[in-house]
Structures are given as structure tokens and as C-alpha cells.
Amino acid sequence: MNKHLKQLVDLAELDKGIDSFEEEEAKINENLNSILAEQNSHKANIETLNVELEELTNVKKKNDGLLAELTDKIKDIEKKQTLIKSEKELKALQLEDEIAKEQINHANDEIERLDRLSEGKKEEIKDLETKITELDASIEQAKKDSESELKDLDKKRKDSFKKRETEIANVPQNLLSFYQKVRRWAGSSCVVPMKKRSCYGCHMVLSERVYAEILKSEEIVTCPHCGRILYAVNEEA
Ligand SMILES: [Zn+2]
């Protein structure tokens, strides 16, 4: 195989490995991330509950104000009752008094209902806070569990980067730029073998001329259909 083509095949293999580290890392952190996601959802729920709690407090404040107004009104009615002059006036005041008392009852019921709702939400928040604290322990454990795996991965990653640096030091600059250009869109399949006379990247059949060129492997050949860099492999193997 042409020396430069061999360099690109090796480089692509190395880059593929480097790409796979990210996936590997995600897999190692899967458990940790799922616990973190659970914890975050609890935190978001607490935020929602706090907003609802604030709304309830505002409604309750309005009812407290109403209650104070009604209490004043009752006092006012009591004062007026001492000055009554006619039966008609008495009846009107009694009616006013009844209505105000009914409204007071209603406001008190409403305040009680709001208090109950608030208490319920506070309970929910407390439960969620307990869960969050419990998850903190699970998070610590998950971090510990993946620590050594992540360390190994980090070592592999560093080794690969070092190898890559050594590798690209020998690749001519224009070839490296060309490789990187293909890699930008083709990713880890930027250098692919030719199999059954087809490009292994786009699976299109190659012409006789391209096929022969790749077999000769004297130059860097790209797939005329997709532009990936192609190389020949021993298909019997
Ligand atoms: Zn192709």
C-alpha cells in the first residue's frame, strides 16, 4: 500500500477510537446521569410547588383582608343597632348582619381550604427535599463506582492523542488537510475499504477504472460518488 494511504488508514482508525471514547464515557456515566436527571426533576418540581405556594399565599392574603373588612362591618352594624328607630330599619340591619356573617363564614372556610392546600404542598416539598438528600448519597456512590473506569478511559484517551500526534507529524500537511476536510463531513467513516468493488461508505459500485486504481494502491483515491478515501483490502481474509 502507498505509504501515505497507509498513514491515512491508520490515522482514521486512531480517530475512530478517539471518537468512541466519548460514547464509552457516556456509557460509564449513564447511571450517574440518570440519578442526576431524577434529582433535577425533583428540584424542578419544588420550584413549581413554591410558585403555587406563593399564589396560595396571595389568595389567602386577599381573604384575610376581606375578613377584616367584614369584621369591621359587623361592628358597624352593632353600633347602628343601638340607634334603631323603626321595625323596618331593624329588619334591614338584621339582613345586612346575616349577609355579613355568611360572608365571614365563607371567607373562613376559604382560608381553611387554602391553608390545607398550602400544608399539602409544603409536605410535598419536604418529601422531595428528603429524596434529593437521599439521591446525593447515590450520586456520590455512582461517582465512586465509575471513578476507576473513567481513569482507565482517560489514560487510553491520552495514549491515543499521543499516538495521533506522532502519527500526524509524518503526514504531509496538504494530505492532512485533505483528510480533515473529508473527515469533517464523513466522520469516522472518512477512510473506508472497498468491498465487492463497492465503496464501503456509500455502497455504490465503483467503475472498472477506479477499481483498478484502488487495487494498484499507488495513489490516494476517493470514491467518485461520495468523496470518501478508499483503500483495498484482502476480501478472502
Ligand atoms: Zn462512496
Q: How much distance in Å is there from the Cα of 91 to the middle of ligand 1?
A: 98
- pLDDT, mean over the chain: 94
Note down the domain range covering 207.
173-232
Percent of the chain residues topping a pLDDT of 70: 99
**Contact in structure between 229 and 220 (CB atoms under 8 Å):** yes
Residues 89 and 120 in one domain: yes
Residues 128 and 182 in one domain: no
Domain boundary among 145, 169, 193: 169
Q: In the prediction, which pLDDT does 130 show?
A: 98
pLDDT by residue (tens digit) across 47-63? Answer: 999 999 999 999 999 99
Q: In the prediction, which pLDDT does 74 show?
A: 94
Residue owning grid cell 509524518: 170
Does some domain include residue 151? Answer: yes
Does some domain include residue 2? Answer: no
pLDDT grade, residue 217 (50/70/90)? confident
Q: How much distance in Å is there from the Cα of 37 to the middle of ligand 1?
A: 41
Q: In the prediction, which pLDDT does 27 show?
A: 94
Instruction: Name all contacts of 3-9 with Cβ < 8 Å and 24+ positions apart.
Output: 4/171, 4/172, 4/175, 4/220, 5/217, 5/219, 5/220, 5/229, 5/231, 7/167, 7/170, 7/171, 7/175, 8/171, 8/175, 8/179, 8/191, 8/220, 8/229, 9/191, 9/231
Q: How much distance in Å is there from the Cα of 10 to the middle of ligand 1?
A: 19
Q: Is the pTM of this model over 0.85?
A: no
Going by C-beta distance under 8 Å and a sequence separation of 6 or more, which residues neighbour residue 68?
Answer: none
Residues 186 and 130 in one domain: no
Residues 163 and 178 in one domain: no
Residues 113 and 218 in one domain: no
**Contact in structure between 111 and 67 (CB atoms under 8 Å):** yes
Q: In the prediction, which pLDDT does 45 show?
A: 98
Q: How much distance in Å is there from the Cα of 201 to the middle of ligand 1?
A: 5
Q: In the prediction, which pLDDT does 236 show?
A: 64
Residues 71 and 99 in one domain: yes
Angle at 207 between CA 204 and CA 213, to 5 degrees: 110
Q: How much distance in Å is there from the Cα of 226 to the middle of ligand 1?
A: 4
Residues 128 and 227 in one domain: no
Q: How much distance in Å is there from the Cα of 211 to the middle of ligand 1?
A: 12
pLDDT by residue (tens digit) across 110-169? Answer: 999 999 999 999 999 999 999 999 999 999 999 999 999 999 999 999 999 999 999 999
Domain of 28, CATH number, reads: 1.10.287.1490
Residues 164 and 50 in one domain: yes
Residues 91 and 149 in one domain: yes
Does some domain include residue 12? Answer: no
Q: How much distance in Å is there from the Cα of 22 to the middle of ligand 1?
A: 26
Domain boundary among 169, 188, 223: 169
Answer yes or no: is pLDDT of 193 > 80.
yes
Residues 63 and 133 in one domain: yes
Q: How much distance in Å is there from the Cα of 109 to the middle of ligand 1?
A: 76
Q: How much distance in Å is there from the Cα of 190 to the middle of ligand 1?
A: 10
Q: CA 152 to CA 154: how far, in whole Å?
A: 5
Sheet holding 198-199, edge to edge: 198-199, 191-195, 229-232, 221-222
Q: How much distance in Å is there from the Cα of 199 to the middle of ligand 1?
A: 5
pLDDT by residue (tens digit) across 90-105? Answer: 999 999 999 999 999 9
pLDDT grade, residue 237 (50/70/90)? low
Q: How much distance in Å is there from the Cα of 230 to the middle of ligand 1?
A: 8
Q: In the prediction, which pLDDT does 176 show?
A: 95
Q: How many domains does the chain have?
A: 2
Answer yes or no: is pLDDT of 186 > 70.
yes
